[in-house]
Chain A
Amino acid sequence: MAIVIQPYRQEHESAVQAFNGRLQTSSGDSNFVFSQTAIPHWLPPANNNPVWNEFYVAVEASPASDLPKESRANNSPVRGAYALKQETIFIRGKGPHRIACYHHPLSEGIVDRSFASIGVLLVRDALARQPLLYALGMGGMERPIAKMLKALSFSLTPIPFYFRVVRPARFFREMQALRSEPWRAKLMNIAAATGSGWIAIKLAQAAAGLKSGSPNPATDSVTEVDVEFLDWADELWNQGKESVSFATVRDTTTLRLLYPPNFSSNIASTRRLRISRNGSAIGWSIIGQRRKDPKFGDMRVGSIVDCWAAPENTPTVIRAATRALEKDGVDLIVSNQSHHAWCGALEKAGFLKGPSTFIFAASKKLTELLQPLKENPPAFHITRADGDGLPVNF
């Protein structure tokens, strides 16, 4: 049997469904699922769009035929799949470059060792299609995908994780990661019941704000909700892009594709905020509530998914996004940000830094292009919305 990797077409859909079924049945994990439709629901390829998703499937071609390998694969089992998000990155001093995000790789090797080679074939195929490749997230350095990319000379950088507890009592009762041992759970219950947890959290968050060393941002800003991205977003992009060493393009055209005016999803609700001062836009943010996740228990978790502003306006934008989420009644707010200005703005707003499992992995060729990648302080702009981004994984 020969494995052929080819673009995912409609005739593969039933084989992908069977592939998903085998993965889920054998692993017991419902997260092992690839798109059941060949055309992506989010960011489908279309003429002149600057950002789109494309899917590939690894098909087991039957050898018993004189047909070319690609034709033999049409009705054969699917043994793996991956997605590429094609997009443009802006690099200071080097301008725009086309890159791709490697996401949702799935291999039958997860449940059947005789397909252990599929993982290698998928990532090498993606690299052959776009050597300027990256992956984002992955759940930590110790996960197989991160190890595999490291072995292929990708550079791995964790993107800082920040959180702000809005309702300490619910946080202590529901945060499953803090309740893994019975004695810990008991301690968390005491913290929730006595109010000592409330005091500790509020003190820690106030200390984080004080440590960042500057007063609260001016409060003369206005926040509008669910605005459309229009020319003002282009102006902000052009004003701010020289302050980052690199960022995926966030001009109006791209933002309207990423966050369309009629965007809605049954698993995530997002809102677009425009923050203005004296009648002019100074920044924007995408906020939303995360889907339910066992590690957060029954908490309502808000996320500052994406944002953009000149560095001096980042505290105002973070403050506005935080207030909007607090007004929504969330118990906890989380964000992943790489740029030092956004990290500082989160700290000023009382966010605490936690361990990050959100990893940016750049291929060897992309790492060379992005040099110096490891700056101090970091000036590249990556957020939770980068990579496979919305709608599932923020």
Chain B
Amino acid sequence: MAASTFYEVRGIASDILGVPATRLNASSSPDTVENWDSVQHLNLVLALEEKFSLQLSPEEIDQMKTLGDTAQLIEAKLQTSTR
């Protein structure tokens, strides 16, 4: 996973969850971040879709278990779309 994608995803998550980016890492998840509830999860999905101009399918949303998973997913989608 490219570090730049992870940092971008982390920045978005930091804004939405109201948590300093430095306190978020690849294994951060709804289980470990207090503010990460279902509403914030939706906000994160919508923000990622807008920022990266892509649409996440139900299966992909389901794969977003951690920030690392999410960044990997975004990167894979970006690569597919530029091919």
- Interface residues of chain A, those whose CB is within 8 Å of chain B, are 2-3, 5, 107, 109-110, 113-114, 116-121, 123-125, 144, 147-148, 151-152
Contacts and interface: CB of A to CB of B under 8 A. Distances in A.
A119 B29 CA distance: 16
B36 interface: yes
Interface string B53-69: 00000110110110000
Contacts of B42: 119-120, 123, 148, 151-152
A121 B39 contact: no
Contact of B30 (A5, A113, A147, A151): A113
Contacts of B41: 109, 116-117, 119-120
A92 to B, nearest CB: 33
B46 A151 contact: yes
Nearest to B46: A151
Contacts of A124: 58, 61
B15 interface: no
Nearest to B62: A3
Interface residues of B, number: 19
A151 B43 contact: yes
A147 B39 CA distance: 7
Contacts of A119: 38-39, 41-42
A151 B41 CA distance: 11
Interface of B: 29-31, 36-43, 45-46, 58-59, 61-62, 64-65
A113 B46 contact: no
A29 B64 CA distance: 28
Contact of B37 (A2, A3, A144, A152): A144
Contacts of A107: 38
Contacts of B45: 120
A123 B30 CA distance: 19
Given A120-B61, A121-B62, A151-B46, A109 B29 contact: no
A315 to B, nearest CB: 42
Contacts of A144: 37-39
B64 A117 contact: yes
The 7 closest A-B pairs by CB, nearest first: A119-B38, A113-B30, A116-B30, A116-B41, A109-B38, A120-B42, A3-B62
Contacts of A148: 38-39, 42
A120 B62 CA distance: 9
A120 B36 CA distance: 13
A200 B40 CA distance: 45
A109 B62 contact: no
B38 A120 contact: yes
A51 B18 CA distance: 43
